[in-house]
Structure 1
């Protein structure tokens, strides 16, 4: 299994939740070698008002996380696949070859953290439903992950994300009629059409490149791109992302 981790926020049962997951295994699931899902649930000592990890507790949770992974490797039972923080607890999630030693793994790890209580359990999950339906993001959530990565890169380069500038977008459609209808719709919302992208062998779709003056600040760009996803899909298309220029303070 490859290691490539992502993290994002999502609501779960009406509560804010921070999800971290190994995206590197997405193309290989379900993996028949790991047919069980195991969890260890650890209540936080001093969660934030939203039920998430407070800065002063991050180190302790990191130590627990590392110890669990160390013990799972020692017992050779499974693979750490994700973590959900919600409603004042951290849920560490593993996929297991066999689950009869999972309780021993959890106990061996948590004996080093007397200040924390915990619960552990496991069940059969041959289709990897916990990974695919709970940990893995939807198309909209993936877009937010990509948005925030780009925003972080701009910010690290000295960009003032609150300054308006041209933000370019692309969407692709199955036929030119849908592309034209989409273009007419977004023009009513202040977007300018830059060019039409004709089908190629590697991309047999009808593309549209367009832009508008907006701010790429995290929540602003999230709202904008989610709207573009919805509108592209309404016209039978697919949104393909955005780019912008660096605007320093």
Structure 2
């Protein structure tokens, strides 16, 4: 099973939440739904939370140690899979999907015997549809796009791009049928985009390659792409990301 972790922010019940989840689990979802039908949790109250309710730099080593101890206990007792954690409102919650629960008390005792100074609760419940993973941990299409946006922004920044310089940013969108194509083109052009060419993916689905001058800075590109997702969905199409060239800052030297 592939280990592929992602980290992102979302709003949970009006509170900011930091979600870390194993995206690789989704590749084995159909098989795991038959064998791991119970969700288990361990929830600890942070002793030194930040103003936003997240883990402080001071407390992080202890929380990471707790996470490692829980994961090693999960492997020792062979009862399930660690799928993610949620940090919000001064608490950290670790989530697991379990094959069986008869030795859950042994798992808890072994994992948390060195963390008696924490206020900790735990439990498990039936979840054969994996709703905790699919609807709580797993990102929506818009949240996924923000994750990808920030990866591209980070990559540009590492190459010396300050991200504030407008440049041509190319986007791709794929549509389901020809009937919505012209309406989609008109909607994009109304937003100031120029159609570069018509495209087709490996599955034979047709689409559009289009561009506009914009800044690829984090908040700017988030607003832009979330708007494009809404436009695409309205015309029964699917937005498929963006790319651009690196524009490095040039320092002016005095004479």
In the alignment, the residues of structure 2 paired with residue 139 and residue 103 of structure 1 have an alpha-carbon distance, to the nearest angstrom, of: 37
Which of 176, 179, 203 does residue 178 from structure 2 map onto?
A: 176
1:209 aligns with 2:183: no
Moved over 4 A (4+): none
1:229 aligns with 2:232: no
1:103 touches 1:121 (CA, 8 Å); kept in 2? no
1:117 aligns with 2:119: yes
Deviation at 1:50, TM superposition (A): 1.4
Q: TM-score, normalised by structure 2?
A: 0.92
Unaligned runs of 5+ in 1: none
Unaligned runs of 5+ in 2: 250-255
Aligned residues: 247
Residue pairs, 1:234-249, within 5 angstroms? 234-249=234-249
SS of structure 1 residue aligned to 2:67 = helix
Q: Deviations over 1:27-52 (max 9, x none)?
A: 32241221211110011111122111
Q: Deviations over 1:40-85 (max 9, x none)?
A: 0011111122111122222111111001111111122211111011
In the alignment, the residues of structure 2 paired with residue 247 and residue 226 of structure 1 have an alpha-carbon distance, to the nearest angstrom, of: 23
In the alignment, the residues of structure 2 paired with residue 205 and residue 25 of structure 1 have an alpha-carbon distance, to the nearest angstrom, of: 27
2:97 is aligned to: 95
1:172 touches 1:179 (CA, 8 Å); kept in 2? no
1:27 is aligned to: 27
In the alignment, the residues of structure 1 paired with residue 58 and residue 169 of structure 2 have an alpha-carbon distance, to the nearest angstrom, of: 38
Q: Deviations over 1:82-128 (max 9, x none)?
A: 10111110000011111122232122222212332211101112221
Q: TM-score, normalised by structure 1?
A: 0.94
2:188 is aligned to: 186
In the alignment, the residues of structure 1 paired with residue 78 and residue 216 of structure 2 have an alpha-carbon distance, to the nearest angstrom, of: 45
In the alignment, the residues of structure 1 paired with residue 109 and residue 221 of structure 2 have an alpha-carbon distance, to the nearest angstrom, of: 44
Residue pairs, 1:193-204, within 5 angstroms? 193-197=195-199, 199=200, 202-204=202-204
Q: Deviations over 1:136-180 (max 9, x none)?
A: 111111111111111111122221112211110011112334222
SS of structure 2 residue aligned to 1:29 = helix
2:150 is aligned to: 148
2:86 is aligned to: 84
